[in-house]
Amino acid sequence: MSGDEERGPADQRGLTEQRRLTEQRGLADWLPARLAAVAPSVTVIGDVMLDGWWSGSIDRLCREAPAPVVDITRRMFAPGGAANTAMNLAALGAKVRVAGLVGCDDAGMELRRQLRAAGVNTSHLHEHPDMVTTSKIRISSAGQVLLRFDDVTGKVPSDALAALALSLPAAVRGQDAVVVCDYGTGALQGPVRSALLEMLSSRDASQLAVVDAHDPRPWAGMRPDLATPNAAEAARLLGIQLTSGSDRPAVMAARRDELIDATGARAVVVTLDRDGTLLLPGTGDSHRTWARPATEKQASGAGDTFVAALTLARAATLPLSTSVDLAQAAADVVVHHPGTSVCSTADLTRHLASFADTALSADELARHIQADRAEGRRIVLTNGCFDVLHRGHTRYLNQAKQLGDILVVALNSDASVRRLKGPDRPINSVADRAGVIAALSCVDYVTVFDTPTPIPLIEKLRPEIYAKGGDYTPEMLAETEAVERFGGTVTILDYVPDLSTTAVVQRIRNGEGAEVGEAPVN
């Protein structure tokens, strides 16, 4: 399923209203709470585990070997793997079931306890006396992970797999979405895989299927809606090696058809850790997100958070590119939290709201740009009103970002918009416009200008690239001379003639929904 095609039985009401609200108020004000209110039902099936984070101080070496002695002062446990995906879904408001295998041990009891406390249905989480619950314990001191030891069942008993396979029809029936989390620890082999492939390959079109697997190829016959390999996993699918200097997004984009064929998915989202993600739909435009990484911390599970938020947004019928942007924001939240953590509705709301009032003064911006340029980064500047955000805007801004390393968006002030567009504009104040634009992962800095042209700002920032959208040529722009005087280049980006803010605003004022036959928004 692609574009804005709606799914049931998730809440079918109000996709048009969602669009109107997005256009009028911005993502930060309403979207996380709205998704929580829709509360899609999701089953997560796969390799559940328990993550441990033990920390302490080091004051001595042990006598029998030159190894540090860690005096443990703190032990923390959190659901990991498929269980972490389920925890994140529940924290974001989904109704969640988890299906998997655990042992009859303390780790299994703790895992089940935490899942239940979070509101996750564990009736399809099967125990077996001949298994150990997969556990990954990290030992750290002074913020540095020193060691991780894993406890994993060598061979999953056949009767455990049979029991899980028998319970899958009940676990999947009537759910809005199914997430398959295959990390290779054995819960999804044999009869479990066969049952899932049979059920989900013939699923109702309204049921979303997402595959998050170290190797998505065994799940290609399921024809999932989404597959989410990381860059290394995607490289293995393609039979290539990525070097440290590889332009990973460009490599993946060039091999889109091969990734779609290998995964069997309608769309592939390649996660690129500190470089964000790349959405590759089977048809239509690709879409990038850019991460806002933390400094190195003891954090794990951002990929699980990404998959959870992506699944929730798609199950609630949000457009695919919007869903990926939202998932990137959720992942950005958890990388700033230590340990294995989740992003809740409140966390996501605060994160998106934090981009309000983030416009920098020209002088502040110049100081940031000076530091970025000193590190070898190329600066891209663009400008506009960006009053009511639509697909043409986001496509244009993603293209602009890919011209360099740092994207600066200069917004026309409210007075400037009135001079350009008339007394009824802008619809949104410059503070609201700045907050929405700054929340886009492709945007690094936002500033505001009130002059007739951005030439004074160009002279202060001296961007390597000045990007402009529309049916212009560089010769038509007054800014071209200033850009080229400082060695910069003017680039004209794709023009989408059938999309305009004026038309969107008129539809809203007329109380109209999307036009019948309108092209889907990816």
Claim to verify: residue 383 and residue 343 sit in the same structural domain: no
| Bridge partners for 412 per DSSP | 449
C-beta neighbour count of 334 within 10 angstroms: 26
Would residue 116 count as lying in a domain?
A: yes
Q: Report the number of distinct structural domains present in the chain.
A: 2
Report the run of H or E that residue 485 belongs to, with start and end. Answer: helix 480-485
At 434 the pLDDT is 87
DSSP-derived 3-state class of residue 235: helix
pTM for this predicted structure: 0.75
Mean pLDDT of the chain: 86
Would residue 74 count as lying in a domain?
A: no
Claim to verify: residue 261 and residue 319 sit in the same structural domain: yes
Instruction: Give the span between the Cα atoms of 441 and 287, in whole angstroms.
Output: 11
Claim to verify: residue 382 and residue 473 sit in the same structural domain: yes
SS3 content of the chain, % helix, strand, coil (to 5): 40, 25, 35
Residues 21, 292, 76, CA angle at the centre, nearest 5°? Answer: 105
Contacts of 56 (CB under 8 A, 6+ apart): 70, 71, 72, 73, 74, 139, 141
Catalytically annotated residues: 304
Cα atoms in the Cβ-side hemisphere of radius 13 Å centred on 243 = 2
Report the run of H or E that residue 253 belongs to, with start and end. Answer: helix 248-254
Q: Token pair of 98, please?
A: 């988890």
pLDDT digits (tens, 9 = 90+) for 18-58: 333 333 344 455 578 888 888 999 999 999 999 998 989 99
C-beta neighbour count of 33 within 10 angstroms: 14
Claim to verify: residue 465 and residue 412 sit in the same structural domain: yes
At 10 the pLDDT is 40
Residue pointed to by tokens 């697909």: 391
Claim to verify: residue 370 and residue 345 sit in the same structural domain: no
Q: Which of 353, 373, 393 is the last residue of a domain?
A: 353
At 239 the pLDDT is 94
Would residue 148 count as lying in a domain?
A: no
Q: Which of 333, 353, 373 is the last residue of a domain?
A: 353
Would residue 518 count as lying in a domain?
A: no
CA 91 from chain center: how many Å?
16
| Residues across the chain | 522
Instruction: Give the span between the Cα atoms of 480 and 170, in whole angstroms.
Output: 64
Report the run of H or E that residue 431 belongs to, with start and end. Answer: helix 430-439
Would residue 285 count as lying in a domain?
A: yes
Are residues 429 and 452 in contact, defined by beta-carbon separation less than 8 angstroms?
no
Instruction: Give the span between the Cα atoms of 368 and 356, in whole angstroms.
Output: 19
Residues 386, 390, 392, CA angle at the centre, nearest 5°? Answer: 90
At 514 the pLDDT is 54
At 37 the pLDDT is 85
At 421 the pLDDT is 85
Instruction: Give the span between the Cα atoms of 356 and 28, in whole angstroms.
Output: 9
Which residues of the chain register pLDDT less than 70? 1-30, 293-299, 354-357, 471, 495-522
Instruction: Give the span between the Cα atoms of 355 and 452, in whole angstroms.
Output: 26
Task: Return the DSSP state at 481.
Answer: H
Report the run of H or E that residue 269 belongs to, with start and end. Answer: strand 267-271
Alpha carbon distances (Å) from 266 to 227, 287, 317, 461, 477: 8, 15, 15, 42, 41
Would residue 163 count as lying in a domain?
A: no
Structural domain harbouring 331? 15-49+80-129+168-353
C-beta neighbour count of 6 within 10 angstroms: 13
Claim to verify: residue 269 and residue 185 sit in the same structural domain: yes
Claim to verify: residue 403 and residue 323 sit in the same structural domain: no
Instruction: Give the span between the Cα atoms of 263 and 259, in whole angstroms.
Output: 6
The dihedral through the CA atoms of 303, 90, 168, 126 has a sign that is: positive
CATH code of 92's domain: 3.40.1190.20
Claim to verify: residue 381 and residue 347 sit in the same structural domain: no
User: What beta strand segments (E) does 350-503 contain?
Assistant: 379-384, 406-412, 445-449, 465-469, 489-493
Instruction: Give the span between the Cα atoms of 381 and 406, in whole angstroms.
Output: 8
CATH code of 451's domain: 3.40.50.620
At 292 the pLDDT is 75
At 439 the pLDDT is 81
Claim to verify: residue 395 and residue 436 sit in the same structural domain: yes
Q: Token pair of 296, please?
A: 């190195």
pLDDT digits (tens, 9 = 90+) for 256-265: 999 999 999 9
Q: Token pair of 347, please?
A: 């966390």
Are residues 352 and 46 in contact, defined by beta-carbon separation less than 8 angstroms?
no
Would residue 151 count as lying in a domain?
A: no
Would residue 161 count as lying in a domain?
A: no
Claim to verify: residue 390 and residue 483 sit in the same structural domain: yes
Nearest-10 crossing angle of helices 320-334, 302-315: 150
At 3 the pLDDT is 37
